[in-house]
Every structure is written in structure tokens, then in C-alpha cells.
């Protein structure tokens, strides 16, 4: 019964995404290639003082990304620090500096890790700060992916596009129209959209209850569509006002997956070989389905002390979602960089929780965050091609671009950044006595292996810009607030810098013709090689720490 309902839900998702793969992917390719600017866009460029026709070198592109993100970070920090004097403050005070910085870093890095409780931020901060970053951090990720695609498509070029144009178009032509439609769809099911504040009601037993309000639907839709994940409320997408029923849960998963699963088409179209797009799509889909099946199997089994006694792993899950919609959401949110949750991951079975961690540690490439999933997967593809080249002793190439020493250095650095941040964060947390004291006495809600899992999950989530949590961990301590903020920023912007450098080095090359010795990169061999590379890299790096945490707990 559980498996039948899972299969029917996945089939529905596959059908919807399959129908939209071509139109959505080609639409995005047109958005990023069109020579025409809309009227509102011309106005924006005039205000910003940029020439939309002028393309940028990779360095100029990167500089624009960094300055834009820095400006967004400062504004968001400032808004939180003065929120009590802004409209709709609802009596809440200003956010303290460390938490405000952590939150600003988190939303600018497309992570949406929440060291604060959703209910403590005012409506003004939510809409002028968080909602805006939900749009633009997503548009930034997409822009970087498109810049890498251009690098692969261009020949002997010193430029890779214009960041301002990619940012504005991604926001206004892709994210905004889908968000308006999606928000209305969510409101029909009961997602709230108002500025009412709390409504006090007298319950049937005569007690008083506060019913929260807020502009929720507008933020909910972009939080999923932009793979952001920061909940309007503390309970995120498990809150009935964010996710009222079974179909909204699947619809929110659809919104999460729409852009990441369509971008391979954009890639195929823009490099002029649609089969390349299908190969990347299939690689993503295989990993997505495999991981989903494993998570479902662990969760349905209900192994462990509490789930076994209760009869099913229902702690931290909503009745209307049951095990099936909870598992689909959990796999979807951790395999993308979303981090929204419709069930509490901390209370999953030990091995179910391990799958969520593995999904993030895979680098979020199946299908990954908007833009970041595609560029992450293309980096893995570069490494797979290189490994294949080593085996047959030929200079590797991808789409007619040589993978030389400088490209391999950039790709290798890319895949080392995230593990370094995760493992260093965990090691410092337990290796330095003062930090360990803070973790054990102030942060952990659970002891033993599960405590290690909570900290590992936190750094995996931060460094991969996911944002979901084993939420029993109190991450508002000085150490975790600071270290996770740093992990989020470095985990976002170092890979972006490396990808743009890679894009620049590809763009500068000419295209070399394919020969009999070239590995075809649209066949099953390449697909299995790429998927295998992704899994192998993760397994080698993270097996030891996983063995100490969720695996040890799962064997109990």
C-alpha cells in the first residue's frame, strides 16, 4: 500500500516534469540568449547604470556576483537590526547581531538555514529581505550555471555573458511569473496571504489560541521554486498554513524540481546538442530515484526504539502527509539545495536520516539547487571524462573542450571545498575542548551517535547551502552561529568562483573536432560513469564519519 502510493505520486511528478522538460528548458534557453530587453528591464538597467549589450569576462562576471551578494547581505543584516521600527513589527524586538549575520549569510547563499524561529521576524523583514533574497540568490545560481554553459558553447571568446542581464531576466522572466501563478494555486488550498498578525480565538474548550497570519503563499512558492527553503513559520512546510494538504505537498515538490530538472534541456539547447542534455537529465534522475527508494525503504521499515514502539515512524510527521508524502518531500528537499521540510528530519529512523545526509553530501547534484545542481553535475561530468581519459591514455575532452591541467585543478578544487568545510566544522566542534563544551552542554538535544549526527547534519546542510536541519540541535550558540555562517558563505561562493574560472577557460578554447578516440558523452556508458563518480567521491570522503554517526545508531 505504501509503495503503491509512493509509485503513484512519483509517476505523477515524473509526468508533470516530463511534459514541461522541453518547453521549460527551451524557454529558459531563450530567456538567457534573446537579444531583446523588456521595457521594465531597460528601466532597471538605466537605474543600475549598466549596459546590457556588453558582455563580461569571467573575472568581471564574478566581481558582479560578489558585489551584488555583498550588497544583499548588508541590506538584510540591516533590516533585521532595525525591525522593531519598521512597519508590521508585531511587537518583536531587533534581531541580535550574530543571529542577524547568520541569517543574512544564509539567505544570500541560497541556504536558508534558520538559526532564528520564523515567528520572530517581522513581516517587513520577511518580504523586503527574505523574499527578495529567495528570488535573487536563486537567479544568481541560475546565472552562474548559464555562464558555464556559455563557456562550453562559445569558441575563442574572452567573455561569458553579462551577470546583470542574467540576474534581471532570471528573476523577472522565469521566477516571478511562475511564483505569481503558484502562490494563487497554494492559496486555493488554504495557504494564508494577509497582513493580519495574530488572530485570537476562543477554542471549543474555552481556551485561547493565537492563529498566525502573514504573507505566506507569496514566500512559500519562491522558497520552493528557488530551492531556498526558509520557512515563514518555525515548522516550515509542515505548518498547515504553509502546506495544508496532500496535493500541496506534492505540488511543492514539483516547484522544487521544476527548474533543476529542466536546466539540462537549457544546457542541451544552448550547446547545440540536445542529447547532452538528456544524458545529464538521466544521470540526475537515476540518482534521485535510487536515493528516494532507499529513504522510503528505511522509513517504511520503522526500525529503531521509538518508531518500533509507536508502530510506525510518525514522530515529527503530519497525519495528512503520512509516511509517503513525508519521504518524497524529505528526499526532494535534501537532493536539491532546498532545505524546506514537511516533517522533522531529526526524528527519522537512523538510516533514513543517513540518507538525507548522504543526499546533501553528494553535493546536491541530483537534480540539485537551481543552477548550482547543473554546474555541480557538469563539474562531476568533467571529472568523469578525465577518469575515462586516464583509463585509455588519451587527453580527455568534453563537448570539444580539452580537459587540461588547469581545468582539472579547478574541478578538483571544486569537489574538495565542501568536504573540507563539513569535516573541518565537525572536527573542530568535537576536537577543541571549549567548543565541545558548548556543543554538548548547550546545543545537543540528543546524546550518543545521534548527537554526532545532529552536528554532521548541520555542517553538511550549511556547506551545501541546503538549510534543513536536525532541528533538535540548538544552532544559536556563538560557535555554531559563526561557523555555520562561514561554511554557508564559503560553500556558496568559492565553488561559484571556481565554476566561473572554469567557464572562462572553456570559453577561451577553440572547439576540437571529435575523433574515434573521443568518449561520447550522451551514451549510457557516460551516464553510469558520471553517476558512479559522484557516488564514489562522496563514499570515499564521508564513509568514516557516517559509520560513527547514523550507521552506528542504525545498528542498535
Residues 133-162 that bind other proteins (CB under 8 A): 135-136
Question: Binding residue for other proteins (CB under 8 A) from 346, 364, 429, 499?
Answer: 346
CA gap 146, 507 in Å, rounded: 12
Q: How far is the CB of 167 from other proteins (least distance, A)?
A: 7
Residues 280-299 that bind other proteins (CB under 8 A): none
Grid cell in block for residue 324? 509517503
Q: How far is the CB of 115 from other proteins (least distance, A)?
A: 15
Q: Considering only 18-26, 117-125, 264-272, 384-392, which stretch makes contact with other proteins by CB under 8 A?
A: 117-125
**Which residues are registered as beta bridge partners of 199?**
211
Question: Binding residue for other proteins (CB under 8 A) from 141, 161, 170, 307?
Answer: 307
Residue 231 or 260 having the CB closest to other proteins: 231
Q: Considering only 166-174, 377-385, 397-405, 418-426, which stretch makes contact with other proteins by CB under 8 A?
A: 166-174
Residues 247-266 that bind other proteins (CB under 8 A): 247, 249-250
Number of residues counted as binding other proteins (CB under 8 A): 124
Residue 305 or 393 having the CB closest to other proteins: 305
Residue 71 or 539 having the CB closest to other proteins: 71
Q: Let me know if 489 is exposed, middle or buried by CB neighbors in 10 A (0-12, 13-18, 19+).
A: buried
Q: How far is the CB of 542 from other proteins (least distance, A)?
A: 20
Based on the shown chain and the rule CB under 8 A, indicate whether residue 306 belongs to the binding site for other proteins: yes
Based on the shown chain and the rule CB under 8 A, indicate whether residue 72 belongs to the binding site for other proteins: yes
Residues 180-199 that bind other proteins (CB under 8 A): 180, 183-184, 187-196, 198-199
Assess contact for 483 and 428: CB atoms under 8 A.
yes
Based on the shown chain and the rule CB under 8 A, indicate whether residue 201 belongs to the binding site for other proteins: yes
Nearest residue to 100 (alpha-carbon basis) of 122, 493, 494? 122
Q: What is the DSSP string of 111-146?
A: ----SS-GGGS-HHHIIIIIIHHHHHHHHHHHHHHH
Residues 473-512 that bind other proteins (CB under 8 A): none
Assess contact for 484 and 384: CB atoms under 8 A.
no
Q: How far is the CB of 147 from other proteins (least distance, A)?
A: 16
Q: How far is the CB of 131 from other proteins (least distance, A)?
A: 6
**Which residues are registered as beta bridge partners of 51?**
none
Which residues, 6+ apart, have CB-to-CB distance to 142 below 8 Å? 28, 166, 170, 174, 259, 263, 370, 371
Nearest residue to 70 (alpha-carbon basis) of 462, 375, 489? 489
Q: Which residues of 126-146 are buried (b: 16+ CB within 10 A; e: fewer)?
A: bbbbbbbbbbbbbbbbbbbbb
Residue 213 or 532 having the CB closest to other proteins: 213
Question: Binding residue for other proteins (CB under 8 A) from 86, 128, 482, 490?
Answer: 128
Based on the shown chain and the rule CB under 8 A, indicate whether residue 36 belongs to the binding site for other proteins: no
Based on the shown chain and the rule CB under 8 A, indicate whether residue 203 belongs to the binding site for other proteins: yes
Question: Binding residue for other proteins (CB under 8 A) from 215, 260, 376, 425?
Answer: 215
Q: Considering only 145-153, 280-288, 303-311, 519-527, which stretch makes contact with other proteins by CB under 8 A?
A: 303-311
The one-character DSSP state at 83 is G
Residue 201 or 512 having the CB closest to other proteins: 201
CA gap 289, 292 in Å, rounded: 5
CA gap 32, 270 in Å, rounded: 9
Question: Binding residue for other proteins (CB under 8 A) from 91, 156, 205, 392?
Answer: 205
- For residue 509, the SS3 value is coil
Question: Binding residue for other proteins (CB under 8 A) from 84, 117, 395, 406?
Answer: 117
Based on the shown chain and the rule CB under 8 A, indicate whether residue 47 belongs to the binding site for other proteins: yes
Based on the shown chain and the rule CB under 8 A, indicate whether residue 368 belongs to the binding site for other proteins: no
CA gap 298, 348 in Å, rounded: 9
Q: How far is the CB of 488 from other proteins (least distance, A)?
A: 19
Beta strands at 401-402 and 199-202: parallel, antiparallel or unpaired: unpaired
Q: Let me know if 57 is exposed, middle or buried by CB neighbors in 10 A (0-12, 13-18, 19+).
A: middle
Question: Binding residue for other proteins (CB under 8 A) from 318, 338, 379, 507?
Answer: 318
Nearest residue to 360 (alpha-carbon basis) of 328, 338, 377, 384? 338
Position of cell 569576462?
57
Question: Binding residue for other proteins (CB under 8 A) from 16, 60, 408, 482?
Answer: 60
Grid cell in block for residue 348? 527519522
In the chain, how many H helices and how many E strands? 21, 4
Q: CB atoms < 10 A from the CB of 202, how many?
A: 9
Based on the shown chain and the rule CB under 8 A, indicate whether residue 14 belongs to the binding site for other proteins: no
CA gap 17, 232 in Å, rounded: 26
Question: Binding residue for other proteins (CB under 8 A) from 204, 392, 434, 516?
Answer: 204
Residue 244 or 532 having the CB closest to other proteins: 244
Dihedral angle sign, alpha carbons of residues 225, 482, 214, 192: positive
Residues 508-537 that bind other proteins (CB under 8 A): none
Based on the shown chain and the rule CB under 8 A, indicate whether residue 16 belongs to the binding site for other proteins: no
Residue 281 or 344 having the CB closest to other proteins: 344
Amino acid at each position: 500500500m505504501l509503495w503503491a502510493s509512493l509509485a503513484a505520486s512519483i509517476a505523477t511528478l515524473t509526468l508533470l516534469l516530463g511534459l514541461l522538460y522541453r518547453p521549460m528548458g527551451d524557454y529558459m534557453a531563450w530567456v538567457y540568449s534573446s537579444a531583446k530587453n523588456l521595457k521594465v528591464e531597460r528601466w532597471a538597467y538605466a537605474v543600475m547604470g549598466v549596459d546590457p549589450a556588453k558582455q563580461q569576462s569571467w573575472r568581471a562576471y564574478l566581481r558582479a556576483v560578489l558585489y551584488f551578494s555583498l550588497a544583499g547581505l548588508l541590506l538584510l543584516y540591516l533590516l533585521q537590526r532595525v525591525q522593531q521600527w519598521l512597519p508590521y513589527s508585531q511587537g518583536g524586538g531587533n534581531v541580535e547581531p550574530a543571529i542577524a549575520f547568520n541569517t543574512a549569510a544564509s539567505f544570500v547563499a541560497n541556504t536558508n538555514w534558520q538559526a532564528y524561529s520564523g515567528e520572530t521576524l517581522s513581516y517587513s523583514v520577511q518580504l523586503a529581505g527574505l523574499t527578495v533574497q529567495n528570488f535573487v540568490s536563486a537567479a544568481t545560481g541560475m546565472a552562474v550555471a548559464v555562464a558555464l554553459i556559455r563557456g562550453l558553447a562559445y569558441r575563442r571568446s574572452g567573455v561569458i555573458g553579462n551577470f546583470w542581464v542574467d540576474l534581471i531576466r532570471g528573476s523577472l522572466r522565469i521566477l516571478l511569473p511562475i511564483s505569481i501563478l503558484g502562490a494563487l494555486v497554494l492559496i486555493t488550498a488554504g495557504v494564508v496571504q494577509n497582513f493580519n498578525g495574530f488572530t485570537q480565538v476562543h477554542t471549543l474548550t474555552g481556551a485561547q489560541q493565537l492563529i498566525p497570519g502573514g504573507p505566506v503563499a507569496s514566500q512559500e512558492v519562491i522558497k520552493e521554486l528557488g530551492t531556498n527553503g526558509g520557512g515563514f513559520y518555525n515548522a516550515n512546510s509542515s505548518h498547515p498554513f504553509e502546506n495544508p494538504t496532500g496535493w500541496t505537498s506534492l505540488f511543492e515538490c514539483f516547484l522544487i524540481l521544476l527548474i533543476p530538472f529542466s536546466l539540462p534541456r537549457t544546457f542541451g539547447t544552448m550547446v547545440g546538442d540536445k542529447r547532452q542534455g538528456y544524458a545529464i537529465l538521466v544521470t540526475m534522475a537515476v540518482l534521485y530515484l535510487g536515493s528516494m527508494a532507499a529513504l522510503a525503504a528505511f522509513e517504511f521499515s520503522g526500525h529503531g526504539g521509538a518508531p518500533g514502539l509507536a508502530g510506525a515512524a510518525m514522530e515529527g510527521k503530519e497525519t495528512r502527509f503520512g509516511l509517503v508524502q513525508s519521504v518524497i518531500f524529505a528526499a526532494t528537499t535534501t537532493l536539491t539545495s532546498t532545505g524546506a521540510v514537511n516533517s522533522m528530519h531529526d526524528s527519522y529512523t537512523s538510516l533514513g536520516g543517513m540518507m538525507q545526509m548522504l543526499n546533501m553530501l553528494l553535493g546536491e547534484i541530483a537534480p540539485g539547487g537551481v543552477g548550482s545542481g547543473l554546474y555541480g553535475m557538469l563539474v562531476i561530468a568533467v571529472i568523469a571524462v578525465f577518469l575515462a581519459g586516464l583509463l585509455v591514455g588519451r587527453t580527455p575532452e568534453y563537448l570539444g573542450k580539452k580537459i587540461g591541467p588547469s581545468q582539472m585543478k579547478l574541478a578538483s578544487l571544486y569537489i574538495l571545498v565542501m568536504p573540507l568545510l563539513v569535516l573541518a566544522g565537525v572536527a573542530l566542534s568535537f576536537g577543541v575542548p571549549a567548543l565541545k563544551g558548548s556543543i554538548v552542554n548547550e546545543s545537543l538535544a540528543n546524546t550518543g551517535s545521534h548527537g554526532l549526527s545532529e552536528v554532521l547534519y548541520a555542517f553538511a546542510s550549511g556547506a551545501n547551502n541546503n538549510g534543513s536541519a536536525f532541528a533538535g540541535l540548538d544552532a544559536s550558540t556563538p560557535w555554531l552561529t559563526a561557523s555555520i555562517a562561514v561554511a554557508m558563505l564559503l560553500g556558496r561562493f568559492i565553488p561559484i568562483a571556481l565554476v566561473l574560472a572554469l567557464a572562462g577557460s572553456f570559453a577561451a578554447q577553440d572547439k576540437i573536432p571529435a575523433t574515434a578516440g573521443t568518449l561520447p558523452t550522451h551514451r549510457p556508458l557516460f551516464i553510469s560513469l558520471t553517476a558512479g563518480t559522484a557516488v564514489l567521491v562522496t563514499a570515499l570522503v564521508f564513509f568514516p564519519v557516517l559509520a560513527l554517526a547514523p550507521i552506528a545508531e542504525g545498528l542498535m
